[in-house]
Structure 1
């Protein structure tokens, strides 16, 4: 598997490259956003690890431009910026995960494996709950005949709900499914994403489809 690391701190980049190559990954490095964007859009990678604070072009803009070209390579932000708003924004831009420095290398490896599992799962059939339909293959969502545009994280959360209809999903379960780890720092992020997901699914319809189970979590089900 080939990984692109976009990281301006050379010691960290060298450490990541060595550790990943010891785990049988092939690694390319870019030390600024301009070179990173060029490599990401001209070479084929299985995963991109990108810092946010980069010279030339910052990491968020790099990922925006990558996604705007239609490239859906899994991407992980690896950054010292740790506010909830930054995490939400980074995931909304199109990152598959968000890791805050300082980090453990074993955690990074686990997150990389989780990203690849999510991307390689071969789901074929459509999922349907009430009048909501989700196609895992084309990543399209409809409620009745209305197409619902979702961010990658919102799509992943909805898919998880739709594979477990009627089951109460706790914040811990959702965080472990989406990010492969359970961290309290992700609790508010999950609530924000579910609030936005609800708004997109329910704003033009009379009935809700995602319901809060107080002090427990959330459930997806059609109710009278």
Structure 2
């Protein structure tokens, strides 16, 4: 996806060299970027700046990233929060996600990985910013609810459309059945996890993915779409 001018990103970290590195990289991608060195400044700046995405460090003096996330997500604000953590700690991840964080990245991380996660969040939460998104052999048109694969419009049910869109947008990332159910079927879905397998099988048939090279199964982990 080509980055677009007008997309606003707020960086929050108490380490100046990280802020400078990320600010330069994201501005080079044509994003509009502002930064804050602490939690209170971030909350005040977010109110004025109205960012689409917030890159938020967890471990900060004073107001930590968890409290900032809670305040940013208060009142149902549609801002995408990607949390940065220096610890690959499950408890940190769970706490952040519970407070409304949309994704997390463990330090140290590559800029390319962060950029991919930013773009995934934008496609998921702000599809109206893009009339059509091209990704490898796919073209996604969220306004028409159509997915074109190798110049062929796929005949998809509404659920198949949402599932394939979620897989393609997050290409290269392993998605568990639980995460797929939450994002595609909703948190209140009371059915069995096996429904995911049924829909994956149907998508593979429509994509002629007999060898499972497009939608890969990673045993015990979930599914991953690999794009050329």
The bucket for the TM-score relative to the shorter chain is 0.5 to 0.7
Q: Which residue of 2 aligns with 1:71?
A: 77
1:110 aligned residue (103, 116, 134):
116
Q: Give deviations 1:128-152, integer Å, cap 9, x for gaps.
A: xxxxxxxx9xxxxxxxxxxxxxxxx
- Name the Cα RMSD after superposition: 3.4
Displacement after TM superposition at 1:174 (Å)? 10
Q: Which residue of 2 aligns with 1:43?
A: 49
1:201 aligned residue (177, 181, 189):
189
Unaligned residue ranges in structure 1 (runs of 5+): 123-135, 137-160, 203-207
- In the alignment of these two chains, the number of paired residues is 166
* Cα distance change, pair 119–73 in 1 and its aligned pair in 2 (3 A): same
Displacement after TM superposition at 1:109 (Å)? 0.9
Displacement after TM superposition at 1:199 (Å)? 8.1
8 Å contact kept, 1:51–1:77 = yes
Q: Which residue of 2 aligns with 1:27?
A: 33
Give, in whole Å, the separation in 2 of the partners of 1:31 and 1:70.
Answer: 24
SS at match of 2:193: strand
Within-5 A mapping of 1:66-145: 66-121=72-127
Displacement after TM superposition at 1:194 (Å)? 5.3
**TM-score (norm: length of structure 1):** 0.61
Q: Which residue of 2 aligns with 1:211?
A: 193
Q: Which residue of 2 aligns with 1:2?
A: 8
Displacement after TM superposition at 1:46 (Å)? 1.8
SS at match of 1:201: coil
Unaligned residue ranges in structure 2 (runs of 5+): 1-6, 129-141, 143-156, 200-228
Displacement after TM superposition at 1:7 (Å)? 0.6
Within-5 A mapping of 1:162-201: 163-164=159-160, 176=167, 179-183=170-174, 187=176, 191=178, 200-201=188-189
Give, in whole Å, the separation in 2 of the partners of 1:98 and 1:175.
Answer: 17
